Amino acid sequence: MQASEMSASAPGVGNLMTHKWWVLLAVGVGSFITALDGSVVNTILPIISRTFSADVATIEWVVTVYLLMVSGLLLSLGRLGDLRGHKLMFVTGFFVFMLSSTVAGAAASAPMLIAARALQAVGGAMTLANGPAIITKAFPATQRGQALGMAATLTYLGLTAGPSLAGG
């Protein structure tokens, strides 16, 4: 049955056909931004160090705290999404990530930047842990692999684009 036939025979089905692609776009943007943020900072660590007059050991925590928090929280935040709802966790995580990005951009000291990066990682982990579950629910089994692959591609594009966008 073609999409046009389905939408004619079943009200709302046509909306479901396009809805899944919007879901993929939203999850993909969240994955892209989270990955981009993880890779962009590595390139500009010397600039951050000079800006805050901080030693290398202190500035390395800007990267390390993000990686530790994301990797340490993925499983528990994915499970929390199972219990409380994946969409709620994803949207909350995206909001936390964007808010903490603003705080990181306005940080007046290295410790403030490190704390903002820790909070960014919490938001990032919420999006990364719940995005695949949202895609799995939105796509039929025949398209699920394709959709998950596209989301993974956006993640790796974010990792790849980070150093270039930072000027490295």
Tens of pLDDT, residue by residue over 7-45, are: 444 444 445 567 899 999 999 999 999 888 888 888 889
Q: What is the DSSP string of 110-155?
A: HHHHHHHHHHHHHHHHHHHHHHHHHHHHHS-HHHHHHHHHHHHHHH
Between residues 111 and 43, which one has the greater pLDDT? 111
Give the helix ranges, DSSP H, for 44-109: 45-52, 56-84, 86-105
Structure tokens belonging to residue 40: 């962009």
Give the whole-angstrom CA distance, residue 72 versus residue 93. 15
Contact 4, 98 (CB under 8 A): no
**pTM greater than 0.85 (yes/no):** no
Segment 91-102 mean pLDDT = 96
